[in-house]
């Protein structure tokens, strides 16, 4: 059923569908030996004729012909990877691009997004920039987001974050998260709303700060203390903070972030007060990170 939906599945990604590191091998072998799936020249699994016949008997439709161009396959394999990794995340729903209804005059094929990710009912239009993509492609992602009218939250997965100019990707939206593509970060997506920020704030400030009404910070003492929190890099929040600091040169902001975000944030906003945090100590519920 997963292959019916996404057409391709990398061999190394099959383990995510069975939520196990060993048992999936036997399952895949059984499907191969019984000719329900087969290996494609790209090193991925696809449905065999027998697999299609079986799904047809269950009422699945195969009237739409599948494209096999190189670019199409690369895109589908990428979408399949994201879908497989997020398959067992109970609070995350991945909607591939071919299931999104584009209300603009641009067709889905002309758009750069790979789908949307819904995390606890909050939806992010999602993009992916691989290592091999050049500046022209990155600019096309920028223009694609710039013309977006419906979504106010964006996720951009990047394999090489040094290729991204964080100052460029600001659109006046609610959130634009720039996330380095890794299994750990994909796993961490599920914990965005599970970070116990009140516990973190209490450990640093006791009862001396309160939830802020300002766009550029999360907590304040309602006097001169401003505290901003980063679970991932958010270019919209960075842009607001930089504007605030430019207009208030006598002030500094306390920035709470992961150690991974620290290096990038220090480059964008030097001379602020940084508090790097190991978030796994402040996650509500079980916290699993891929090895």
Q: What is the pLDDT along the chain (291 residues), one digit of tens a residue?
A: 999 999 999 988 988 998 777 788 889 999 999 999 999 988 899 999 999 999 999 999 988 777 778 888 999 999 999 999 999 888 899 999 988 865 443 444 568 999 999 998 999 999 999 999 999 999 999 999 999 989 999 999 999 999 999 999 999 999 999 999 999 999 999 899 899 999 999 999 998 999 999 888 999 998 889 999 999 999 999 999 999 999 999 999 999 999 999 999 999 999 999 999 999 889 876 545 443
Write down the pTM of the prediction: 0.91
Tokens of 207: 């009862």
Q: Residue 76: inside a domain, yes or no?
A: no
Indicate the residue among 133, 152, 181 that finishes a domain: 181
The verdict on 96 and 116 lying in the same domain is yes
Q: Residue 51: inside a domain, yes or no?
A: yes
Contact 197, 225 (CB under 8 A): no
Q: Residue 77: inside a domain, yes or no?
A: no
Burial class (CB in 10 A: 0-12, 13-18, 19+), 276: middle
Q: Residue 250: inside a domain, yes or no?
A: yes
For residue 126, the SS3 value is strand
Q: Residue 275: inside a domain, yes or no?
A: yes
CATH number of the domain within which 17 lies: 1.10.10
The verdict on 130 and 214 lying in the same domain is no
The verdict on 256 and 232 lying in the same domain is yes
CA gap 160, 164 in Å, rounded? 8
In this structure, the number of other CB atoms found within 10 A of the CB of residue 54 comes to 15
The verdict on 6 and 46 lying in the same domain is yes
Q: Which domain holds residue 103?
A: 89-181
Q: How many separate domains does the chain show?
A: 3
The verdict on 124 and 45 lying in the same domain is no
Maximum alpha-carbon separation in the chain:
71
Tokens of 88: 């067992």
Burial class (CB in 10 A: 0-12, 13-18, 19+), 173: middle
């Amino acid at each position: 059923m997963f292959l019916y939906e996404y057409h391709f599945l990398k061999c190394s990604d099959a383990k995510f569908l069975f939520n196990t590191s060993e048992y999936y091998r036997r399952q895949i072998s059984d499907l191969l030996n019984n000719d329900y799936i087969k290996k494609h020249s790209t090193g991925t699994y696809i449905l065999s004729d027998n697999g299609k016949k079986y799904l047809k008997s269950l009422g699945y439709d195969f009237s739409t012909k599948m494209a096999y161009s190189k670019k199409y396959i690369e895109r589908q394999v990428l979408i399949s990877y994201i879908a497989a990794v997020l398959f067992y995340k109970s609070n995350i729903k991945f909607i591939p691009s071919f299931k999104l209804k584009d209300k603009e005059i641009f067709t889905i094929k002309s758009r750069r997004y790979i789908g949307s990710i819904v995390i606890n009912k909050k939806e992010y239009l999602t993009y992916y920039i691989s290592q091999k993509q050049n500046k022209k492609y990155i600019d096309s992602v920028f223009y694609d987001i710039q013309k977006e009218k419906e979504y106010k939250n964006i996720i951009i997965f990047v394999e090489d974050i040094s290729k991204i100019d964080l100052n460029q990707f600001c659109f006046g939206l609610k959130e634009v998260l720039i996330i380095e593509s890794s299994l750990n970060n994909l796993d961490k997506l599920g914990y965005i709303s599970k970070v116990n920020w009140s516990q973190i704030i209490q450990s640093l400030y006791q009862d001396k700060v309160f939830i802020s009404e300002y766009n550029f910070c999360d907590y304040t003492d309602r006097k001169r203390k401003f505290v901003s929190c980063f679970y991932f890099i958010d270019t919209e929040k960075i842009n607001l903070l930089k504007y605030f600091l430019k207009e208030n040169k006598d002030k500094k902001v306390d920035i709470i972030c992961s150690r991974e975000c620290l290096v990038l944030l220090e480059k964008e906003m030097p001379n602020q007060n940084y508090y790097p945090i190991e978030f796994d100590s402040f996650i509500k519920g079980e916290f699993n990170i891929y090895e």
